[in-house]
């Protein structure tokens, strides 16, 4: 393990982008960061709101029409190496909003996130639990370390 992956493992900045989910996942993720009970900082994961600082982009929600361009722009702003973690059922496969019509395509939902930007890790759950976020972000790390 070189100094590159050694340092990368010990300082990870995640950025959270919510793209129109029901708020449940967003708050659970904020909970994972802000609640002393979960405290994501003890795994050296820091929350940032600046795409230039971020390593991991955590996306929640089914990517509504107005959120497509901002999401792409934010993704492009993150310098390499970067990872995208799709958190929640909506981000993983569109959730109820995309799939309830059956074969009829939804006009409002551009997602899931896979359709818009490449996704490296998927965390299922409706809504995702803070522990799942922690394990998802930590589990996606080996990919980041090798990049």
Residues within the interface to another protein (CB under 8 A)? 3-4, 7-8, 10-11, 13, 17-28, 30-31, 34-37, 39, 41-42, 44, 46, 49-53, 55, 62, 64-67, 69-70, 73-74, 77, 79-81, 95-97, 100-101, 106-109, 126-127, 129
Smallest gap from Cβ 60 to another protein, in A, equals 10
Q: Which residue has the tokens 């922690």?
A: 134
Q: For another protein, which is the closer residue by CB, 17 or 119? A: 17
Smallest gap from Cβ 116 to another protein, in A, equals 13
Q: Could you tell me the sign of the dihedral formed by the alpha carbons of 10, 24, 27, 98, in that order?
A: positive
Smallest gap from Cβ 53 to another protein, in A, equals 6
Smallest gap from Cβ 105 to another protein, in A, equals 12
Residue 87: its H or E element: strand 83-87
Q: For another protein, which is the closer residue by CB, 64 or 140? A: 64
Q: For another protein, which is the closer residue by CB, 8 or 114? A: 8
Q: How many CB atoms lie within 10 A of CB 147?
A: 14
Measured CA to CA, the distance from residue 40 to residue 31 in angstroms comes to: 9
Of residues 61, 63, 62, the one with CA closest to residue 72: 63
Report the residue count for the chain: 147
Q: For another protein, which is the closer residue by CB, 49 or 139? A: 49
Smallest gap from Cβ 80 to another protein, in A, equals 4
């Amino acid at each position: 393990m070189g100094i590159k992956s050694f340092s990368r493992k010990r300082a990870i900045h995640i950025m959270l982008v919510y793209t129109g989910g029901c708020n449940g996942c967003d708050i659970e993720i904020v909970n994972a960061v802000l609640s002393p009970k979960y405290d994501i900082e003890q795994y050296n994961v820091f929350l940032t709101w600046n795409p230039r600082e971020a390593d991991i982009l955590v996306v929640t929600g089914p990517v509504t029409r107005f959120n497509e361009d901002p999401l792409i722009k934010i993704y492009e702003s993150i310098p390499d190496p970067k990872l995208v973690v799709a958190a929640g059922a909506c981000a993983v496969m569109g959730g109820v909003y995309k799939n309830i019509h059956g074969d009829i395509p939804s006009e409002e939902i551009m997602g899931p996130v896979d359709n818009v930007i490449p996704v490296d890790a998927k965390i299922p759950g409706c809504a995702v639990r803070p522990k799942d976020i922690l394990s998802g972000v930590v589990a996606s790390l080996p990919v980041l370390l090798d990049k």
